[in-house]
Amino acid sequence: MRIPYGWVVVGAGMLISCVAMGSCLSLAVFLQPVSQDTGWSRTGVSSAGTIVFLAMGASAFGWGWLNDRWGTRPVVLSGVVLLGIGLVAASRATTLTEFQFLFGLLIGIAGGSVYAPLMTIASAWFDRQRNLAVSLVSAGMGMSPLVVAPFVRWLISTYDWRVAMLTAGIVAVVLLVPAAMLIRKPPPAIPAAGMPDRPVRLAATAPPMTAAQAFLTYAFAAVALTHFACCAAHSGPIFHMVTYAMGCGIDAMTAVTVYSVAGLSGLVGRLLLGLASDRVGAKPVLVVGLAVQAMAAGTYYFISHLGEFYALAIVFAIAYGGVMPLYATLVREYFGIKIMGTVFGAVSAAASFGMALGPVVGGWVFDTFNGYGWLYIGSFGIGLGAVAIALTFKPVPLAMRPA
């Protein structure tokens, strides 16, 4: 039996999101080696991570707008080429400012071309099992700590951080350009979940509002603010997870395995919460996931042993990984598919600005207080704020639901 092409698009999206976002997040593994080799402060090196997310956020809206007009393939192709250029160029940086510009700006802009366009195209290919499809694409990001982080750590241990970053850039282009070529638009009408024996359901062709009108709605503001607070709450603990574990006396490679366990757990969380949201709806699953995330972020304040790191990484990652695809589902439910790229690009921009806080704030907290305690207290508080905003979500009006 022929495999419905929508699943090919999902598979390509998983690979692209894994390698591309893994490269963006790889600075967590590069942080200590770069700082030790160059003498640059952790705050300075971490700032490159903040620039990544600021650039990702600033560019996400533009990439989303281009996605609605050009399609996903040219957008993602442009992004993966820029990603390779950024990694290769950053590996040759000789000053902190140069490194911050090359790694932060170029890789950040490249990262903005991936998340919203891939989630949009996955949503467009499916009617039934839509949450599962977008969860699988998002799961690619969860796989990156299992694949990219250990690969980068091995390269650093075997050679040095510059060779590791150069190699990562070359590998990214070699893998992702062919994967991006597999992406194509869905036909005007597709069978539900790609099954030929199911009734055909036409995609929405006339959304109830334009993107400009959508930006003025309470629904957009609530989803964007929740995504911002959600990412602001978990970005610091994720980015500094490896460094914090090493500071507690855990060796470098073992500390990376904690990060990898979090990646595997995030993958599980995306699938479990995606399936749950297909059954009970996105809002209740999102609220519960955000509450667990907040509690887990605060718990980092109290742990220091390897077993505790593993246990908390599992709970924390299931929560933060599981809620990520739900924002795409909410945007699709509120605004339909035709303007989803633009609207979800703007929501993703808010999320990236939240992610931008974690690296630099965590670095500043460590340099100022010689520890990460206040980072975890702040993450707990912001996480509770995300829960509070999510509780205000209103039901999707019938007139706004896509056909």
Residue 192 lies in a domain: no
In this structure, which long-range contacts are made by residues 156-160, counting pairs with CB atoms below 8 Å and at least 24 apart in sequence? Answer: 156/29, 156/30, 156/33, 157/252, 157/253, 160/33, 160/37
Q: Does any domain span residue 378?
A: yes
pTM above 0.85, yes or no: no
Residue 97 burial by Cβ neighbours in a 10 Å radius (0-12, 13-18, 19+)? exposed
Distance CA 293, CA 286 (A): 10
Would you give the DSSP letter of residue 102? I
Alpha helices in 159-251 (DSSP H): 161-181, 211-214, 218-239, 241-247
193 belongs to a structural domain: no
Does residue 194 fall inside a structural domain?
Answer: no
Residue 198 located in a structural domain:
no
Rounded percentage of the chain residues whose pLDDT exceeds 70: 91
**The two three-digit tokens of residue 324, written as one number:** 């990520």
For residue 350, the enclosing domain spans 5-185+208-400
> Which CATH number belongs to the domain containing residue 49 in this structure?
1.20.1250.20
Digit-coded pLDDT (tens) for 110-120: 988 887 888 88
- Encoded amino acid at 115, one letter: Y
- 202 domain-assigned: no
Strand partners, 200: 191
Residue 245, domain member (yes or no): yes
Residue 382 domain-assigned (yes or no): yes
For residue 207, pLDDT over 60 is answered with no
| Residue-level pLDDT at 208 | 58
Q: What is the pLDDT of residue 195?
A: 39
pLDDT at 396: 62
Query: CA-to-CA distance for 254 and 183, rounded, in angstroms?
Result: 37
Total domains, the chain: 1
pLDDT, tens digit, for every residue of 134-176? 778 877 776 776 788 888 889 998 889 999 999 999 999 999 9
Cα–Cα distance measured from residue 403 to residue 401, given in angstroms and rounded to the nearest whole number: 6
Helix-strand-coil percent breakdown of the chain, rounded to 5? 80, 0, 20
What tens digit of pLDDT does each residue of 247-257 get?
Answer: 999 988 888 88
